Every structure is written in C-alpha cells, then in structure tokens.
Structure 1
Amino acid sequence: MNAWLISTLLLFPAALVYPKQSPVLPALLKKAPSDNPLKNPVDAVVEQAAQQFMSTPQAVGLSIGIFKDGQTYVYNYGTVEKGIQQLPTDQTIYPIASITKTITGTLLAQAVVEKKVGLGDDIRKYLTGSYPNLDYQGQPIRLFHLINHRSGLPFLLPNRPDAFADTSVPSSAIASELLQNYSRNDFFTDLHKVRLFSTPGSTFNYSNSGAQLLGYILESVYNMSFEELVRLKITQPLAMNDTKITLTPADQTRFIKGYNCTGVQMPNSPDQLQGAGALKSTVADMLNYIQWNVAEQDEAAKLTHRPTWGDEKRYSAGLNWQIRNVANYRAIWQDGNIPGFSSLCVNYPELNMGIVVLSNECDRMTASRTTTLANQIAKTLDERAVMLPN
C-alpha cells in the first residue's frame, strides 16, 4: 500500500544462451536455502538476484515465478516460518496486498465489456442515498477515478491523517490497526463526511478507500459479494483456485508467516480492505494471471492496460496497473505491501514475459529490494525489458 511511484544491468540475450562467465556471488555471502536446480540459464539468473535479495539480515522467505516465451519457472528461497527449515512452494499462500487492486480493476473492465457500467459513470449512480459531497464544482467522481488514484478520496477510511504522523511506523501497519473492527456501515458513514478539494481526475492521491468503494459498487452492480465476483469472473476461468480472501482450514496450513524488519511475526491483516488489498494467492496462480495479462487477448485485459491518465509514451496508469513505455516496450506492474509481506507483479506484453515476486518480510526497504530483484532478472533475461522505477 505504498505510494504510487515507490519505485544491474547484466546483458543476457533473449535467446537465453549462457553468458561467457557465470555470475559469481560475493565470496562472503551466506547462501539461503533454495530449490533452484541451477540447470539452465534462467536458474543462474534467478540465483544471483535472489541470493542478493536474501543476503539482508531481515529476509525470511521468497518465491519467484517467471513466465517467458510460453515456459514457466518457479523458485523458492528461505523459509515459511522463522525457526524452522521449510521452503515455500508454488502452492504456498501469500497475501498479495495492493496487487488486489489490479483484480478489482479487471472486474470493472469486465463490467464495462458486459455493458453493466460505463468507465466514466458518476459513482453516485451506484450508491444508495445522497452524496452531494462527492463532486467538486459540479464535476463528479467517475468509476475509473476510483482505481487510478485520482478520485480525491482519502488514503483510507476512516480518514485519520493524524494517525500517520509517526513516519517511523509503516503506513500499512497503521492502516491495519485503524481497520480493526471497522465495518462496511462505518465506511459509508465516513464516506458522507468526505470533502473534495480539487476536480476529480486532476490530482494524484493514493487511495485505498477508492478501490474499496469500487469493490462495494461492483457488489451492488452484480448483486453478489466481491469475493464471489472474483471467483466467478477471474479465478475460476483462469484456474486460480487459491486466490481468495477467506481461507479454509486446509488453506491456513499453506499460509506463510509474515515478519517485520526486526523479525517479529505480524498478525493477520484485516480483510475489510477487500478490493483494495485483501486477496491472497500463490505463485502458481499468479503465473496464470500473468499469462492472461501478457497475452492481451481478452477485451477486459486490454482495457485494464489502457492508460486513464499520464503520458502514454512514458509513464501512465490503467485500471490500477502502472505502465512505463520505452521505445514501445511496456512494463505493466503493481506492487503490494502490508505488515509482514511484500509483493510485485510485472508484465512485459511485447516480450512475452512476466515476473511475480512474493516475500514474507516487509520493511521500508523491502519494496525497493523487490523492484531491484525483478529489474535484475528481467533485464538479464531480455535487455529490452523496461526498468521499473526504484
């Protein structure tokens, strides 16, 4: 849930031939446990980047999935829980935090394709009751504003900017605390109190409350719960059966433990964020999601990648996906951070490639380290890959 732009060049040809000299890790670097078989060029690339990521004292576990030219690769490092030696697997369940927003954006795109809604609809068309506060000088918040962070809605409801004054505490941890016992009725009560200070669409302001509200609106449009919508429209068609909010007792046995920078295990984050950050998933499921996004064959997928603001030739945003375009090669990505967990999903449609990174440790530098890891892998696998801002 970090701000919008949180954001070594090792040339490695797209044909994946071995480099003349294999990457050599620093001699003093203690290697993390891994299932990497080190049998092919992709293995070698991942080993170097992943061991560098795991070399920091706070690192616990790491799962990496790669889709490249029709092939998938999965690598796991570290452990699912401090104090034991158990590698994650492609079936280990991680929270994906704000990557959830891309799935909420996909649901909106599908609703548009099905002609249930229009991207530019006034959101009040789908709200019960009167909300004269949700426009500014006659300009309303529109549906797509809710998922591209230009709605003008606050970072979180309840709107407590004072709670975030202590910059030594990660914003995701503060948000989790505020959301304990915060109900849907509380959300709509607070929504009536929101004040807009600029025209919707004009100003960037990272907003979990916007994505959460979009989830509620989609529930109303389809007359079913957000989680059921995700299952019916996305996870079932894409065989992503482990991507969900509510975990069964059997799921819980595969749910990884998350830790902060001092090694303290974090409690589970509340599910109230729903469409803004409550989904959990596995590397195996996320690789299916990546392949669907990279292919861009589905109208909804294409719509989520269509810029709704920004410079289409440089940096822009779709339906929550961030997009960077360099020489007509795109990186389409989103990261996510909640207490104990950091995640990143990036698609390169023109390169037929994508990467997902899931970690069970989160501090103020984890998002940057995750981005560095993905950049190193992508750029080495294909020198045309667009670097993510770090």
Structure 2
Amino acid sequence: MKHKLLIAIAVFIYSTSISQTKESISKGQISIIDEKIKDFPKATELSIAFIKNGEVSFYGAKRIDDTIEYVDNSNKVFEIGSLTKVFTSTLLANLVLQHKIDLNKPIHSYFDFPIGNKEITVLQLANHTSGLPKLPSNLDLDKADQSNPYKNYSKEDLKELLRNKLEIISDPGTAYEYSNIGAGILGYLLEVQTDLTYEELLKKYIVAKYDMKNTSTILNNINSDLVEGLDSNGNKTANWDLNALVGAGGILSNVEDLSKFAIAQLNQENKELELTRKTTFEIPEYQMEVGLAWKILKPDPENKWYMHNGGTSGYSTMFALDIENEIGIIILSNVSTFNENARNIDQLCLELMQSQY
C-alpha cells in the first residue's frame, strides 16, 4: 500500500552542521541513485542534499559515458523550475504578516485596472484553486522559441490577459487546478504592491535572510558554475527566461542554498515559512493537502511531507521535507522535464526520503 501511494505521489505531483563529502551517504542510498540515473543521457548530473536530524550532507552523481561517477557539485547551479512557486509564496507570506496583502482579498484590489468577470482571491492564486488554466490563453507556444518559450511573454501581455483574456476553467475556490499563469500573476501582484521587482523581493526577504548567495532569477548574478541543461535527447539546451512569469519558475539555485532554506523551515521563529505550510485546501481523492504552493502528503499515518517539484526544458528538481522528524531530500538535475524518464527524479526523491527513517 505504501509503495502504491508513493507512486501516486510521484505522478501527481536553528543551526546546522554541513558535510561536503559522500561519507554519510549509505551504500543503499547510492545504489538507489545509480539505479535511477542509469537511463538518463550521458552528461546527466544530479546534485542532492540529504537532511537528517537537522544536519545536511551532499552527494553528486554524473553519468560519464556508460559509468556513473561521484562528483562534488553541491555549489553548482541549476534551474529549479516550478520549485520557484514555493519562494513566491514565501514572499507572499512575508507581505501577509506585514499586513500589506490580505490572502482573502480579490486580486483586483491590488491592480489599478479591471480584471475579468470572476472574483479570484490572492489565496486562490497561491494554492492553485483560482480556476485558471495551466498557461495563459494569449501565449501561442507554436510561435514561440521552443528552447526558451516564455522569453517574449511580457508584463504588457500579462496585463492584457488580466484585462481582457482571463480564462476560467472552474469556479474559483472549488477545485485544485495547477496553474503556472496563476503563479505568474501572483509574482506580478507582489511587484505591483511593493514597487519592487521579483528579483529585489527575492533578495530582500529570502536571499539576505537565509544567506542564499547563489539564488537568483538573473543568470549573470550567479557566482558559482552553472550545470548546463540537457534537452529530452541529451543535447545542451538554452536556459529559460520566464520574463513576466518569473514567479512561476524563474529561479536558479544550488543545493547548498536550498538546504539553508530547508533548515530554516525547522525553525519555528520563521513565521513566514510556517504560514506557507498551513493547509489551505484539501484534495481527498489524492490524499493530499495544499498549503501556499506546498503539496502536503502523508506517505503513512505517522509522517507528513511538504513537497514540490519543478521542471524546465533542461532541468528537473524535487524537494521533500518532514518537519517533525527533521528529514529531507533536495534533488537538482539537468534532466529535461520532457525526458521520457523525468519522473525518475520524483521517484528517486521519494525513495531517498523513505531511506532516511
């Protein structure tokens, strides 16, 4: 039963000491990693953070020709894709606690132009119950650069969508519908309300507070080496520029920085992080709850996992954290989300989480 639930999860989807070596990773865990990476293209690279008892260890693996070798890549940078949404909701939580934004207010309260004919709240953008589709209706992907499809989707396009082309596929607040455009609108709303760019908000409320020096939406701001993304066939591919949709998936980071963010979740004094993890919607058919972006699942009656994954044309990521037991796994990879085996990254994360108990 537990195995079936893990598969279903994968489909749906304080101070600390830091170890830079692979010594604390068990042979069984290495075997799990090798098994999952063997079907990926040559030059596939995984960077993994293991969190156990509030302490962090790192492990890196790279497929070189037909062998899988250990690599020290904890400081190497990857696109994190939709894991960005957790950061967007963390920015939101900061502004909620400062009484600058009300989760239950309709989003038209924060713009100086009329929006559609359905009343959507800020909360519904954050927990994917807005009724919005996955992508904006005024984005023609057939005409876009397939290697960087969102590059030309501007804030003027987003404003036009909000004014005249906002498509609703279900009544707001009634159903969970994963929406990149919803997260993009939320990121834009945060910018409008604060008169700061998303990058400036990220630096002010997250990067500075948690000392995440290699986390940014701007590639040129990254100090560490970038791991080049691979397309579905294993060829090098362009990095994505999310432009107006940056809040949906525009962040680059490494496991060193993300492990700091994970450890910060264990500190009860970080009220903004606690707010993002509070249940806001329940999905009984998937045995899942939703916080502000976080998916909340119980792999068994005794444990609760906060999870999110992400993917771009050159990268796949997965983040899972058990707050009570101080256990977590973070995986960054240059596996394309369009690779036929990309789900192996999610499944690897789930299996490594189980191995931590």
| Normalised TM-score (structure 1) | 0.78
Residue of structure 2 equivalent to 1:266: 237
The separation in 2 between residues aligned to 1:336 and 1:130, in whole angstroms, is: 32
Q: Does 1:110 align with 2:110?
A: no
The separation in 1 between residues aligned to 2:207 and 2:108, in whole angstroms, is: 29
Q: Does 1:221 align with 2:193?
A: yes
Contact 1:45 1:381 in 2 (8 A): no
The separation in 2 between residues aligned to 1:80 and 1:147, in whole angstroms, is: 40
Contact 1:342 1:360 in 2 (8 A): yes
Residue of structure 1 equivalent to 2:351: 376
Q: What are the residue-to-residue correspondences of 1:29-108 with 2, within 5 Å?
A: 37=22, 39-40=23-24, 42-58=25-41, 60-78=44-62, 87=71, 89-108=73-92
Contact 1:64 1:75 in 2 (8 A): yes
SS in 1 for 2:319: strand
Taking only the aligned residue pairs, the percentage that are identical comes to 25
Structure 1: runs of 5+ lacking an equivalent: 8-34, 165-171, 383-390
Which is further off, 309-318 or 57-66? 309-318
| Amino acid in structure 2 at the alignment position of 1:271 | L
Residue of structure 2 equivalent to 1:6: 11
Shift in Å, 1:191: 2.1
Residue of structure 1 equivalent to 2:180: 208
Residue of structure 1 equivalent to 2:124: 145
Contact 1:215 1:275 in 2 (8 A): yes
Shift in Å, 1:43: 3.3
Relative to structure 1, the CA distance from residue 236 to residue 49 in structure 2 (aligned partners, 3 Å threshold; closer, same or farther) is same
Q: What are the residue-to-residue correspondences of 1:138-217 with 2, within 5 Å?
A: 140-159=119-138, 163=142, 176-177=148-149, 179-192=150-163, 193-217=165-189
Residue of structure 1 equivalent to 2:215: 243
Contact 1:151 1:200 in 2 (8 A): yes
Relative to structure 1, the CA distance from residue 144 to residue 307 in structure 2 (aligned partners, 3 Å threshold; closer, same or farther) is same
| Normalised TM-score (structure 2) | 0.85
Residue of structure 2 equivalent to 1:168: none
The separation in 2 between residues aligned to 1:297 and 1:367, in whole angstroms, is: 36
The separation in 2 between residues aligned to 1:290 and 1:91, in whole angstroms, is: 16
The separation in 1 between residues aligned to 2:341 and 2:199, in whole angstroms, is: 28
Relative to structure 1, the CA distance from residue 182 to residue 86 in structure 2 (aligned partners, 3 Å threshold; closer, same or farther) is farther
Residue of structure 2 equivalent to 1:348: 322
The one of 315, 336, 359 aligned to 2:310 = 336
The separation in 1 between residues aligned to 2:97 and 2:65, in whole angstroms, is: 43
Structure 2: runs of 5+ lacking an equivalent: 1-8, 13-19
